[in-house]
Chains A and B, each alone.
Chain A
């Protein structure tokens, strides 16, 4: 079964450092997403991406965040200057359509720890 692959599974970074989280969505999917889950909290939408541009973003997705699809297969989330409160599980997801009643396919997540 096709999978969304995320690397690394765990990243530890110092506060103020830049971090790039990587995702390989399912190959024929067209819509890509990043969500995050702070420990003990709900899963929160960050951004959606379609046709090489951001289609929606939440208020969490401020100027410190950016996304890119650099080579047609990878989908990355960059945090420019990490803060302690960025520590969370970050999930990448993809879907073949903008909306599907079957939801998205999520990756296993990257646990980001900012120290």
Chain B
């Protein structure tokens, strides 16, 4: 049951160009979406999030777009830098009423930024 799907396991982009990472979800109860970045031998690091009541959130070079009708979100990185090379996980959360949120993750997309 893949509630959060990242259909591209990998993506290669030239340095300076735009990287677009995509994520689809099926659970309409998700109310928050997050992107995490993960380097080898490290834990996931929070990058940016968006509430389901918004359609765009921007933080420096990173912008997340949410299309609720299509149940689709994307992460744009402009301009891409070699240090952005990592695995990017899309995650979603929904209030379960139990006092804490659990995150549902996609399988990740490995981004390689080529100098």
- Which residues of chain A (64-115) have a CB below 8 Å from chain B? 91, 93, 98-99, 101-109
B102 and A103 form a contact (CB under 8 A): no
B101 and A99 form a contact (CB under 8 A): yes
- Which residues of chain A (41-66) have a CB below 8 Å from chain B? 41-45, 48, 50, 55-56, 58
Chain A residues, CB < 8 A from B102: 33, 45, 48, 56, 58
Q: Which residue of B lies closest to A92 (CB)?
A: B43
B103 and A101 form a contact (CB under 8 A): no
* Bound form: Cα–Cα A98–B42 in Å: 23
Per the CB 8 Å criterion, the residue count for chain A at the interface is 29
User: A: which residues have CB within 8 A of B?
Assistant: 4, 6, 9, 31, 33, 35, 41-45, 48, 50, 55-56, 58, 91, 93, 98-99, 101-109
User: B: which residues have CB within 8 A of A?
Assistant: 4, 32, 34, 36, 41-46, 49, 51, 89, 91, 93, 95-96, 98-108
